[in-house]
Amino acid sequence: MSAGAFIEVVSEAQLHQRVQQLGAEITADYEGEEPVFVGVLKGSMVFLADLVRQVDLTAEVDFLALTRFGKEGRVNIAMDTEVSLAGRHVVVVEDIVDTGLTLTTLRRLLEARGVASVRTVALLDKATRRIVDVPIEYRGFEVGDEFLLGYGLDWSGTYRNLRSLWAVMDVAVLTGDPLAFAVTAYGSSARAADSGQ
């Protein structure tokens, strides 16, 4: 494995501290209201779970899932919220915002449903990739263009459970040996588990 293929970029302690700060900001901004937190599946689930526990308000939590298709990258709702959002203050919870295209479409869809307001809290902002200027009212961290893993972000469904965020500096190492990152993240026990020991 090439040295430096994987680098921890945001520690568990840093995540915890920033999520606490975001929760306090949201609590102050929505005082007297009962917002609905709408998590965009699947990447936001860990962030959302930690965030809502830092919000000292009565609030609801719901989820939706999006699909993108076609060369234009059109966005459809694959799984909708169960609760009606009409007249509600909605906080969209995203793991990453990059080009802004998906979030712009989602905000328009929500506004068309007659929400009282819509704001976005994003754990990560890849601002250098922005194509469309879209508001992000609450931002966790601004990051570069590296492929990221952990804290809800995955590689083929794995690594969402890591407590910190890692940048993949050499994607070829990960694609050539998917367990390479597991050894870095979990230690030698990852190889032992794979070999059945």
Pair 194, 179: CB distance under 8 Å? yes
Beta bridge partners of 75: 68
Residue reference for tokens 């949201």: 26
Pair 27, 3: CB distance under 8 Å? no
Of 56, 80, 95, 98, which residue is the catalytic one? 98
- Order of strands across the sheet that contains 36-41: 74-79, 60-69, 36-41, 89-97, 117-125, 138-142
Tell me if residue 98 is catalytic.
Answer: yes
Look up residue 71 and give its two tokens.
């060369």
Residues recognised as catalytic = 98
